[in-house]
Amino acid sequence: MAGGPIPILKIGPTLLATIQIDLHDTVVDAFQNDVLEEIERTSAKGLIIDISALETVDSYVARTLANTGKMAKLMGTNTVIVGMRPAVAATLVRMGYFMEGIDTALSLEEGLELQKIRTTVPDTE
Amino acid sequence: MAGGPIPILKIGPTLLATIQIDLHDTVVDAFQNDVLEEIERTSAKGLIIDISALETVDSYVARTLANTGKMAKLMGTNTVIVGMRPAVAATLVRMGYFMEGIDTALSLEEGLELQKIRTTVPDTE
């Protein structure tokens, strides 16, 4: 588990980061660092970011979360963002952050299920 | 079923929204809100928007429909737009709204069939 304000747990081959606090610029920067370091340290095949507690996002947080997924992907780790609320989804699309290449799922259960598929059958992108 | 002017029904794991009236800006905004809230409330895995009754679209309605699909996707719900008329398809393409990342089908039956496939085998986008 990383030492930052956002806990990052390892469940089998998957890292699970649950965002339970409001994300300010410095927090989301530290989170991005922690996640990438945990991926390297644990060789996790998948990353799930649970943002169901997040009511709103600003453009910096949105971009940083999307970039974190892209960075994880470059390291060889598939990202699934779960639990996005309607207002957050609306903000992201209106700001033009469609999060290409990042998987989404309604709930943590579905996210874990999707990771199981993704990390056994590599996608054909 | 949502309370807006456009009925949103749940069929198994799929939400079905049938547009039967002309879409004005305020109606399509309310529709977008209703759909996203229904997805959150029902945890629907798929969304089908039937626009076969729609004879024309203006650019605001086109953009809002396309964005609604993208927002649903970010929440983890796959969108299929069914029954698009030739004039509407022509308008959308001419306006540059190709609706990337959104599935389309000729009829409601095919849309339901496509959703069944999509919600069991996640796409590889």
Give residue A96's pLDDT.
84
> Tens digits of per-residue pLDDT, B90-109?
988 888 877 777 899 999 99
* A contact test, residue of B71, B73, B98 with most A CBs within 10 A: B71
Structure tokens at B61: 């309605």
A54-91: b (≥16 Cβ within 10 Å) or e = beebeeebbbbbbebbeebeeeebbbbbbbbbbbbbbb
Residues B1 and B102: their CA atoms lie apart, in Å, by 23
The whole-angstrom separation of Cα A17 and Cα A38 is 11
Min distance A99 CA to chain B CA atoms (Å): 8
pLDDT the model gives residue B125: 45
pLDDT category, B86, cuts 50, 70, 90?
very high
Higher pLDDT, A120 or A29: A29
Q: In the predicted model, what is the mean pLDDT of chain A? A: 89
Phi, psi of B53 (to 5 degrees): -85, -5
Q: What is the pLDDT of residue B28?
A: 92
Among the listed ranges B42-46, B77-81, B100-104, which one has the minimum average pLDDT value? B100-104
Higher pLDDT, B45 or B122: B45
pLDDT of residue A20: 87
The answer, yes or no, to whether residue B2 has pLDDT greater than 80, is no
Residues of chain A found within 8 Å of residue B70, distances taken between Cβ atoms: 93, 98
- CB atoms under 10 Å from CB of A22, counted, come to 12
Burial of B78 (0-12, 13-18, 19+ CB in 10 A): buried
pTM exceeds cut of 0.90: no
pLDDT at residue A80, as a whole number? 95
C-beta of residue B44 within 8 angstroms of C-beta of residue B67: no
Closest listed residue to residue A36, CA positions, set A62, A12, A2: A2
Q: Exposed (0-12), middle (13-18) or buried (19+): which is A26, by Cβ within 10 Å? A: exposed
Ramachandran assignment for A108, one of left (phi > 0), alpha (psi -120 to 50 degrees), beta (any other): alpha
SS3 B11: strand
How far is Cα A13 from Cα A6, in angstroms, rounded to an integer?
A: 19
Instruction: Please tell me which residue, B117 or B119, carries the higher pLDDT value.
Output: B117
Q: Is the pLDDT confidence value at B18 over 70?
A: yes
Q: Give the pLDDT score at A120.
A: 78
Q: Determine the distance in angstroms separating the CA of B77 from the nearest CA of chain A, rounded to an integer.
A: 7
Measured between beta carbons, which residues in chain A are less than 8 angstroms from residue B71? 86, 89-90, 92-93
Q: What is the pLDDT of residues A11-69, one digit of tens each?
A: 999 999 999 888 888 899 999 999 999 999 999 999 999 999 999 888 898 889 989 99
Residue A47 phi, psi (nearest 5): -135, 130
Domains within chain A, CATH numbers bracketed: 8-105 (3.30.750.24)
